[in-house]
Amino acid sequence: MSTCRTAMIILGASGDLAGRKLIPALRRLYEEGVFDASCAVIGSGRTAFDDDSFRRHLGAETDFASLLHYHQGLDGLREYVEALGTFDQTIVFFSLPPRVYADTAAALAQRGFGDRTRLIIEKPFGYDYDSARDLNRRLGAFFNEQHIYRIDHYLAKEAVRNILVFRFANSLFDPVWNSRYLESIQINACEEEGVGHRAQYFDGAGVIRDMVQNHLMQLLCLMTMEAPVSLDAEDIRAQKLAVLKSLKIEECRRGQYEGYREEEGVRPDSSTETYAEIRASINSFRWTGMPIFIRTGKAVHRKGTEIGVRFKSVPRLLFNEDGLVAPNRIVFKIQPAEGILLDLAGKDPGDETMRVTTMNMAFCYRSIFPGEIPEAYRKLLADAIRGDRTLFVSARETELSWKLLQPFLDKGDPVPYPRGALPESKLLKDWIDFDAYKSMCAS
């Protein structure tokens, strides 16, 4: 059964996100009983749909279709929702351009959406530090922070949610999860495709705003935070905030793939970066002296998001007298093939010289859990309905993240790199060869 009678309003319901992600996710929640017949989905936008044409637009044909309704614009929206029935809570999803978030929140408040209304907003949460602060201030003027749910869909990916379990439910790893044993942590997020249909948005943002400030900073926090006192949302956020407060961005390099300026919707003189490489450090007892590297880019040689943990090499004794034994590594594969891989040194079978080779131990999600891996929006919408803010980002997190990156936004001309190639790293010689893990855990 559903947690309570919920009216889910989707602003911008005729757009791509609603049809591609939100409605399918709500349909699955309906099938699972989280979102039942006492609930309603109300689409709202500028398009002149009625209920039937809205359902046809979304291709809704099952019993779930009866929950779908449509109201054009914000005027009269509250009265329309009230006419559908009595609801315990109202959730408003902003499938809208970020520039209108604050004005839309004000308009909703003026139309009577109040204490029982939760807002779900998509990234980006601001354009820089000042705009993020201003957005949070303006949202907070009309809605309590506890009712604002900032979505970062990376946090709902199963492979990301498993990071804390891996770290804090296994006594094997916590004693060595520090700069005494780890050489570096490396976060890698690559895409083969260029900017495509997102060119107009992306050219005003760049990959630092689009990927680093939100998704990748959250991954960094999960990999390095201290254990929270509980799994309560605020306790987890407190530890992530502690990381952001002690984090320092030491260097940032920007690149732009060749041909980017010829993409439709891109300015011919654009200096927007499509690639970024960052070195950071954390000023804490656990992490002092250990670098953290972030690398992300579009139009490179392959698609993949991974986190690599590289251990320090064993002393040059016994099996490593020549210094050729590869250090241990742990690779968290976030997408497209979820898994956790552990590299260990072992004896080459049959070799009488005790030659050491690298062996892989692999935990692959699709092998261990052959069922469907829940889609991120399905989890996030279910949590919003239940009032669980664990996987949503707080105002303070967004502001601290922007503040850290502010000195590097739009600074200098990006270095060109060939489309389909990964630029040579200038910050770290010993990048983990994530390409070597490409086929592991692939379905």
DSSP-derived secondary structure for 195-216: SGGGHHHHHTT-HIIIIIIIII
Q: What integer is the mean pLDDT of 90-102?
A: 93
Which of 69, 153, 215, 301 is labelled catalytic?
Answer: 215
**What are the residues whose beta carbons fall under 8 Å from the beta carbon of 36, sequence distance 6 or more?**
1, 2, 30
- pTM to 2 decimals? 0.92
Residues 112 and 170 in one domain: no
Q: Where is the domain boundary, 122, 147, 163?
A: 122
Q: Does 131 fall in a domain?
A: no
Are 256 and 369 in a shared domain?
yes
Which of these ranges, 23-32, 53-62, 201-210, has the smallest mean pLDDT?
A: 53-62
Q: Which residues make Cβ contacts (< 8 Å) with residue 371, sequence separation at least 6?
A: none
- In this structure, the strands spanning 392-393 and 148-151 are antiparallel
Residue type, 357: T
Confidence of residue 343 (pLDDT cuts 50, 70, 90): confident
Per-residue pLDDT band at 291 (split at 50, 70, 90): very high
Q: What is the pLDDT of residue 3?
A: 59
Highest mean pLDDT pick, 63-67, 71-75, 171-175, 240-244: 240-244
Domain limits for position 24: 6-122
CATH code, 35: 3.40.50.720
User: Which of 101, 122, 143 lies at the terminal end of a domain, its last residue?
Assistant: 122
Q: List C-alpha distances in Å: 408 to 208, 276, 351, 422, 431.
A: 9, 10, 52, 21, 22
Name the 3-class secondary structure at 46.
Answer: coil
The encoded tokens of residue 87 equal 């609801």
pLDDT at 360: 86
What's the pLDDT band for 308 if we cut at 50, 70, 90?
very high
Are 226 and 109 in the same domain?
no
Give the pairing of strands 247-257 and 275-282.
Answer: antiparallel
- How distant, in Å, are the alpha carbons of 256, 272, 413, 420 from that of 269? 12, 9, 11, 22
* Cα–Cα dist 56/68, whole Å: 10
Q: Strands, E, within 19-111: which ranges?
A: 40-45, 68-72, 89-94
Cα–Cα dist 31/63, whole Å: 10
Distance CA 326, CA 320 (A): 9
User: Do 163 and 103 share a domain, yes or no?
Assistant: no
Task: Specify the pLDDT at position 175.
Answer: 92
The candidate with the shortest Cα–Cα distance to 359, out of 374, 343, 383, 348, is 343
| pLDDT at 278 exceeding the cut of 90 | yes
Token pair in block for residue 22: 């939100």
In tens, the pLDDT along 137-171 reads 999 999 999 999 999 989 999 899 999 999 999 99
Q: For residue 130, tell me if it sits in a domain.
A: no
CATH number of domain containing 346:
3.30.360.10
Task: Please answer whether residues 392 and 383 qualify as being in contact, where contact means their C-beta atoms are separated by less than 8 angstroms.
Answer: yes
The yes-or-no verdict on residue 189 having pLDDT over 60 is yes
- Looking at the structure, do residues 278 and 416 belong to the same domain, yes or no? yes
Same domain, residue pair 118 and 182: no
Q: pLDDT (tens digit, 9 = 90+) per residue, 192-238?
A: 999 988 888 899 999 999 999 999 999 999 999 999 999 999 999 99
The answer to whether residues 257 and 161 belong to one domain is yes
Domain stops at, among 97, 122, 147: 122
Residues 116 and 227 in one domain: no
| Averaged confidence pLDDT in the chain | 91
Q: Which amino acid is at 362?
A: A
Residues 221 and 92 in one domain: no
Rounded Cα distance, 333 and 85, in Å = 45
Residue 2 has pLDDT above 60, yes or no: no
Report yes or no on 141 lying in a domain: no
Residue 375's pLDDT is 84
Number of domains in the chain: 2
Strands 247-257 and 415-417 come out as parallel
CA–CA gap between residue 362 and residue 336 (Å, rounded): 15
Q: Of all residues in the chain, what percent carry a pLDDT higher than 90?
A: 67
Please say if 215 is a catalytic residue: yes
**CB-hemisphere CA count at 13 Å for 382?**
19
Confidence of residue 324 (pLDDT cuts 50, 70, 90): confident
Residue among 155, 66, 82, 67 at smallest CA distance from 117: 82
Task: Judge whether residue 315 has pLDDT over 80.
Answer: no
Whether residues 332 and 429 share a domain: the answer is: yes
Residue 306: exposure state from Cβ atoms within 10 A (0-12, 13-18, ≥19): buried
Residues 195 and 335 in one domain: yes
- Residue 146, in any domain of the structure: no
Q: Is the pLDDT of residue 1 over 50?
A: no
